A and B are shown apart, each in its own frame.
Chain A
Amino acid sequence: MTAMTTTAPAVDRAARARAVLAKVEQHTSARTGVEAADRLLPVLPVVASVLPQGGLRRGSTLAVTGSTSLVLALVAQASREGSWAAVVGLPGVGLLAAAQLGVDLSRLALVPHPGGDAATVLGALVDGVDIVVLGPGLALVDADRRRLMARARERGTVLISAAPWAGAQVVLTAERTRWTGLGAGDGYLRARELTVTRSGRGDSTGARLLVNLPGGLSARSPGSAAVPTGAPQNEQRGAAIPGGTPPLRLVG
């Protein structure tokens, strides 16, 4: 008992000392702390393992195609923790879904139709906002895209493109979304399971991952409430979410 009480603060102090040391080293450029935790924007636990570093690296560019929900889920946690986000060129984004996934709408700005000024608008937003979501069909040429990425890298802004984006560090493709809860004239959509392929620069593995997105933060554990509709899949179902273990496994 006494041993416990004496070691716990000791560990705490050691960790604190290490953190301070790391900060000083970074400050004096003794170590380039690119992977430092404050360079990562947090994401919801359910999507953390989809990203190579478990968070959105500041200054990086992601291309997320096939699922708007996945885009919103990536933004949610950072938005809740005080980051600003802007959604450009996606007039149909489901804001109610965003709110249900945990996005703080008071820190979300929408620019539904940037028109011909897209490059200037995005430039201004990259300067001031932490996460910029880009829709398809923006009037951008390749040079604009490169300039935007460079600016985002410099400013520490995360660009998430909902359309293919040449040169993105992380490319997430939602190949398939399997919904549960829907029957033949009964039930309602409750939970979804996304099969996401990850690729991108320096990542040739093409990992395939399963993501269970809840309906909302208020929704109960999706696996337990789910009513399987079709035949059982040959892959193991991600129904095993007892007590909040990450519902994500490497399958291919």
Chain B
Amino acid sequence: MSIRTVVLWVPDWPVLAAMTQEEIPADQPVAVHDGRALTAVSAVARAQGVRRGMRRREAQRRCPELVLLHRDEGRDVRAFEPVAVAAETVVAGVEVTRPGMLLLPAGGASRYHGSEHVLAEQLVTQVAELTGHESQVGVADGLLAAVLAARASLVVPPDASAAFLAPRGVSELLHAVAGERAMAEVGAFIDLLHRLGLRTLGALVALPAAAVSARFGPVGSWAHRLARGEDLRPAALRRIEQDIEVGYDFDEPAQRVDEAAFAARRIAEELYTLLVDRSASCGRLRITARTEGGQELVRTWRTDIGALGALTAARITDRVRWQLEGWLSGSAQGPEPAPLIHLGLCAEEVVTAGAEQELLWGGVSGSDSRAHRALLRVQGLLGGDGVLTAEVQGGRAPSDQVHLVPWGQAVPPVRPADRPWPGRLPEPAPATVLTASVPARVLDAAQRAVQVDARLALSAPPTLVAVPPEPPTTVLAWAGPWPVAERWWTPEGRRRVYLQVALENGRVLLLASSRGVWSVEALYD
């Protein structure tokens, strides 16, 4: 039950990735650490006695010129992508088991290239030529044997994997795991095997599989299976779907929405046909419009909540039209309206049709899709910005803490909500937040305007509040002043002083003073 497997391994990948990014010459000793201990060490550093798992100070004592870099898993993955692409110039599909290691089934590829040796040579050459990284290739039956073969640059003959593995130590199992937690779990298991006197993989395999499973659980059966030279699962080959992009260049710059919508209809149909031809669907749709002045207006729509075959040409056209209408009419925020010279559509997150990941309990429920349909309909009547959804985000004023997005559009919140936001107004929030603040007058007992001085003290307690055109009303109770100075280091900085007042006419207001002018921000009603 084992598949002939090719493993391509780039030694010390985290260090290599870090060195490439930081542009450190190869003759420098380098190590990557996670704040506590070293997690990867370059060959030069290893020659000077630096080892993985060492404390930083210990490593520096052994090798004073050692360059220490922080661990960054994102960097490892990003930097490995070119290597995967280089390997894909030789074979059609690969599985990235972890940054630094690729896996692919040998059968078809080695037949195509002539032999396993030629395939290995091709892979090493292509990766070295295209990315400049030295790599090692191993071929064997089963995952563990192939990984160990790659570490030794070997081609293990067919059906010889069990014999190849048997004399090796159980600690070699560690090379087949990825991820810190799995590593720790397997490490503990290996430790246990050592204490039991099972020092080689052969000794482990000699035990009955059922007994191993009964005593050691899933880790035990996993190890037993690998040590036998078998596979856990077939390689999950990646099939990269490129984003599909279509565009239209206007001969004459388009001035009116209907001209643009006409072009949009054409490219929407083109995109739809392309998607159908590739039997793919996409998770997001990006619409780009470029003006004569070179400005770009880009919006991204999620297609999953559109429900009902979300991507038809007509629906794409609608989205383009809403976007342009809001823009060309100058009502929406964005660059100055100008004639369009280019319109582009791009299907992002392209996946093979039928391969989309659904929610665990199936897709959207009946009532959800009913609501989606209704909201789509309203959006069709009022335009894209007519229907909004909200999300709570970070901020201090009540209006800042809500992130409003046109329904269906993919815009992440600007400010994270899980930060402390000191100076945030206390709960409960006002139930009515005025869209435009209304000017008000706040007077003290002597009918003078109440001022906030430089030390943020009120000139006198407020006794009367007048919100024109209503007559002044007596203040029953009040709290404040609460100063908030936001983003004062930028031009759009804001300094405000908040006041909660309860008036005699039953109203409870949130007042704000900015540059000596009072205004009503919200009502607690």
Chain A residues within 8 Å of B, Cβ to Cβ = 66-69, 72, 82-84, 86, 91-100, 105-115, 117, 120-121, 124-125, 127-130, 176-177, 179, 182-190, 192, 213-216, 218-219, 229-230
Contacts and interface: CB of A to CB of B under 8 A. Distances in A.
A72 B431 contact: yes
Counting from the closest, the 7 A-B pairs by CB-CB distance are A128-B374, A215-B428, A68-B431, A84-B371, A96-B429, A182-B477, A97-B429
Nearest to A121: B378
Contacts of B500: 182, 188-189
Interface stretch (B64-72, B279-287, B296-304, B401-409): B401-409
Given A97-B430, A182-B477, A108 B378 contact: no
Interface of B: 365, 367-368, 370-375, 377-378, 381-382, 386-392, 398, 401-402, 404, 407, 426-435, 458, 461, 476-480, 500, 502, 506, 508, 522-525
Nearest to A110: B388
B387 A109 contact: yes
Nearest to A114: B382
Given A91-B435, A177-B506, A96 B525 contact: no
Contacts of A187: 477, 479
Contact of A96 (B367, B372, B402, B508): B402
A67 B525 contact: yes
B392 A105 contact: yes
A114 to B, nearest CB: 7
21 contacts: A82-B367, A91-B435, A94-B432, A95-B390, A97-B431, A98-B431, A108-B389, A108-B390, A109-B378, A110-B389, A111-B388, A112-B388, A113-B382, A117-B381, A120-B381, A125-B374, A127-B374, A185-B461, A188-B426, A189-B508, A230-B476
Given A105-B389, A125-B374, A183-B477, A93 B428 contact: no
Contacts of A215: 427-428
Given A110-B387, A125-B374, A128-B374, A100 B479 contact: no
B392 A117 contact: no
B382 A96 contact: no
B452 to A, nearest CB: 13
Given A82-B367, A94-B398, A185 B479 contact: yes
Given A92-B434, A128-B371, A99 B479 contact: no
A121 B382 CA distance: 8
A140 B427 CA distance: 35
A217 to B, nearest CB: 10
Given A128-B373, A215-B427, 10 more contacts: A67-B525, A92-B433, A94-B430, A100-B427, A105-B392, A182-B508, A184-B477, A185-B478, A185-B479, A190-B428
Nearest to A111: B387
A158 to B, nearest CB: 14
A95 B432 CA distance: 8
A229 B391 contact: no
Contact of A182 (B404, B479, B506, B522): B479
Contacts of A67: 431, 525
A153 B270 CA distance: 44
A17 B502 CA distance: 55
Contacts of A121: 378, 381-382
Contacts of A110: 387-390, 404
Nearest to B425: A188
B479 A186 contact: yes
Contact of A229 (B372, B434, B476): B476
Contact of A68 (B365, B368, B525): B525
A129 B374 contact: yes
A94 B506 contact: no
B389 A189 contact: no
Contact of A109 (B375, B426, B431, B508): B375
Nearest to A66: B525
Contact of B479 (A94, A120, A183): A183
Contacts of B461: 184-185
Contacts of B506: 176-177
B417 to A, nearest CB: 10
A93 B491 CA distance: 29
B381 A124 contact: yes
B374 A124 contact: yes
B481 to A, nearest CB: 9
Residue among A69, A92, A218, A219 facing the most chain B CB atoms (10 A cut-off): A92
Given A93-B432, A111-B382, A183-B479, A219 B388 contact: no
A129 B427 contact: no
Contacts of B375: 86, 109, 125, 128-129
A94 B429 contact: yes
B401 A189 contact: no
A186 to B, nearest CB: 6
B304 to A, nearest CB: 14
B386 A113 contact: yes
A189 B500 CA distance: 8
A84 to B, nearest CB: 4
B389 A177 contact: no
Contacts of A111: 378, 382, 386-388
A213 to B, nearest CB: 8
A68 B432 contact: yes
B306 to A, nearest CB: 14
A192 B461 CA distance: 24
Contacts of B389: 105-106, 108-110
A4 to B, nearest CB: 36
Contacts of A95: 390, 392, 402, 404, 433
Contact of A100 (B371, B428, B477): B428
B523 to A, nearest CB: 8
Contact of B431 (A94, A105, A176, A186): A94
A206 to B, nearest CB: 20
Contacts of B426: 188-189
Nearest to B374: A128
A39 B502 CA distance: 40
Residue among B371, B389, B407, B434 facing the most chain A CB atoms (10 A cut-off): B371
A117 B427 contact: no
A235 B374 CA distance: 47
B524 A179 contact: yes
Contacts of B430: 94, 97
Contacts of B458: 185
B210 to A, nearest CB: 41
Contacts of B434: 92
A8 B273 CA distance: 63
A127 B390 CA distance: 22
